[in-house]
Amino acid sequence: TSTIPSPPLPRTTVFNYLFPASSAKAATDNYPKPNLNKVSYIDGITGQTLTREQTETKAKQLAVGLKKRGVKTGEVGCIFGMNSLDWVVACFGLQALGVVVSPANYAYTPSELLHQLSDSTSSLAFVQPALLPVLLEALKLDKSYSISPERIFLLCPKGEKPKDLQNKFESIEELLEESLSKDELNNVVQKYTDGLEKDTAYLCYSSGTTGRGKGVETSHHNVTSQIQAVNLVYEPQTGDDVILGILPFSHIYGLTVVLQQPLTYNGTIVVLPRFEEAPVLNAIQKYKITWALVVPPILIALLNSPNVKETTLSSLRGLQSGAAPLSSDLIQAFESRFPHIRITQGYGLTETTPVSHVMTLEEGQAHRGCIGRIAPTYQARLVDYESGKDCEKGERGELWLRGPSVMKGYWRNEEATKGVFAPGGWFMTGDVAVIDDQGYFSIVDRVKELVKYKGFQVPPAELEALLLTHPDVADVGVIGIWSKEQATELPRAYIVPRGGLSSISEKSKNELSTKIQKWVEGKVSNHKRLRGGVILIEAIPKSPSGKILRKDLRVLAKKE
Ligand code: AYL
Per-residue pLDDT at 237: 74
Per-residue pLDDT at 222: 98
Q: How many CA atoms lie within 13 A of 338 on its CB side?
A: 23
pLDDT class of 21 with cuts at 50, 70, 90: confident
Q: What is the DSSP string of 204-260?
A: EEE-TTSSS-EEEEEEHHHHHHHHHHHTTT-S--STT-EEEE-S-TTSHIIIIIIII
Residue 31 has pLDDT above 70, yes or no: no
User: Which of 431, 440, 527 gets mutated to test ligand 1 (max ligand atoms within 8 A of its CB)?
Assistant: 431
Decide if 433 contacts 447 (C-beta within 8 A).
no
**Predicted confidence (pLDDT) per residue in 450-475, tens digit:** 999 999 999 999 999 999 999 999 99
Per-residue pLDDT at 435: 96
pLDDT class of 22 with cuts at 50, 70, 90: low
Protein residue with its CA nearest to atom 23 in ligand 1: 349
pTM of the model: 0.96
Please tell me the distance between residue 524's alpha carbon and the centre of ligand 1 in angstroms: 22
Looking at the CA of residue 354, tell me the nearest atom of ligand 1: 29
Residue 27 has pLDDT above 60, yes or no: no
pLDDT class of 25 with cuts at 50, 70, 90: very low
**Predicted confidence (pLDDT) per residue in 148-181, tens digit:** 999 999 999 999 999 998 889 999 999 999 999 9
Rounded to whole angstroms, how far apart are CA atoms 388 and 411?
27
User: Which of 227, 234, 321, 349 gets mutated to test ligand 1 (max ligand atoms within 8 A of its CB)?
Assistant: 349
Average pLDDT, the chain: 94
Per-residue pLDDT at 26: 46
Residue 295 has pLDDT above 90, yes or no: yes
Rounded to whole angstroms, how far apart are CA atoms 368 and 440?
10
| Residues sharing a CB contact under 8 Å with residue 152, sequence separation 6 or more, in sequence order | 124, 125, 127, 132, 135, 169
| Residues sharing a CB contact under 8 Å with residue 236, sequence separation 6 or more, in sequence order | 265, 267, 290, 291, 317, 318
Q: Which residues form the pocket of ligand 1, taking CB atoms under 6 Å from any ligand atom?
A: 206, 252-253, 257, 320, 322-325, 345-350, 354-355, 371, 429, 431, 443, 446, 452, 457
Q: Secondary structure of 511-557 in the HEC alphabet?
A: HHHHHHHHHHHCCCCHHHCCCCCEEECCCCCECCCCCECHHHHHHHH
Residue 560 has pLDDT above 80, yes or no: no
Per-residue pLDDT at 356: 98
pLDDT class of 30 with cuts at 50, 70, 90: low
Per-residue pLDDT at 236: 67
Please tell me the distance between residue 324's alpha carbon and the centre of ligand 1 in angstroms: 5
Rounded to whole angstroms, how far apart are CA atoms 87 and 55?
11
**Predicted confidence (pLDDT) per residue in 384-412, tens digit:** 988 889 999 889 999 999 999 999 999 99
Percent of the chain with pLDDT over 70: 98
Please tell me the distance between residue 415's alpha carbon and the centre of ligand 1 in angstroms: 23
pLDDT class of 365 with cuts at 50, 70, 90: confident
**Predicted confidence (pLDDT) per residue in 228-257, tens digit:** 999 998 776 788 899 999 999 999 999 999
Rounded to 10 deg, the angle between the 460-467 and 506-521 helix axes is 120
Q: Secondary structure of 398-415 in the HEC alphabet?
A: EEEEECCCCCCEECCCHH
Instruction: Specify the DSSP element, H or E, that contains 362.
Output: helix 361-366
Residue 417 or 238, more confident: 417
Decide if 335 contacts 364 (C-beta within 8 A).
no
Looking at the CA of residue 321, tell me the nearest atom of ligand 1: 33
pLDDT class of 302 with cuts at 50, 70, 90: very high
Predicted ipTM > 0.90? yes
Would you call 413 exposed, middle or buried from its count of C-beta atoms within 10 A (0-12, 13-18, 19+)?
A: middle
Per-residue pLDDT at 372: 95
Looking at the CA of residue 320, tell me the nearest atom of ligand 1: 33
Would you call 139 exposed, middle or buried from its count of C-beta atoms within 10 A (0-12, 13-18, 19+)?
A: buried
Percent of the chain with pLDDT over 90: 88
Residue 104 has pLDDT above 60, yes or no: yes
Rounded to whole angstroms, how far apart are CA atoms 369 and 225?
26
**Predicted confidence (pLDDT) per residue in 197-212, tens digit:** 999 999 999 999 999 9
* Of 545, 560, 399, the residue nearest 479 (C-alpha): 560
Looking at the CA of residue 456, tell me the nearest atom of ligand 1: 19
pLDDT class of 23 with cuts at 50, 70, 90: very low
